[in-house]
Amino acid sequence: MKVLFIGGTGIISSACSRLALQRGIDLYLLNRGQSHRAVPDGAKVLTGDIRDASSARAALGDHTFDAVVNWIAFTPEQVQADIDLFPGRTGQYVFISSASAYQTPPAALPITESTPLRNPEWLYSRNKIAC
């Protein structure tokens, strides 16, 4: 399986990058190449800026993927840009949200996908909900 992680070197995404590689995923990372964190051995880096459509298109070239996972989309506009960029390039698009998008404080634990999406306290959370 060929997978693209947009980002892939952050605190959570780097752990998932390592796990994906351990499980035999053919992993590509699209990022600006500016992280101080090392790219896991075996990951292929496509250097480009997802916030700049021409930069992202140039970095992607003619690659296609079974799945694209965006770790760094924070607004509906950023998700829409991905929707515009990836037709014909992937079989599945995965948006990574945040636990902060769910009702705060949670009415019950554990938090599941049926937990209400509601967090009026933080713009970051409201944007993740809108995505």
110 and 124, same domain (yes or no): yes
* Structural domain harbouring 119: 99-131
> pLDDT for 50-64, tens place per residue?
999 999 999 999 999
CATH code (residue 76): 3.40.50.720
64 and 126, same domain (yes or no): no
pLDDT band of residue 115 (cuts 50, 70, 90) is: confident
Give the residue, 74 or 125, on which the prediction is more confident: 74
89 and 106, same domain (yes or no): no
In DSSP terms, 109 is beta-bridged to none
| Sheet strand arrangement including 26-31 | 44-47, 26-31, 2-6, 67-70, 93-95
Strand boundaries in 2-110, DSSP class E:
2-6, 26-31, 44-47, 67-70, 93-95
105 and 58, same domain (yes or no): no
Q: How many domains is the chain built from?
A: 2
Would you say the pTM of this structure is higher than 0.75?
Answer: yes
46 and 106, same domain (yes or no): no
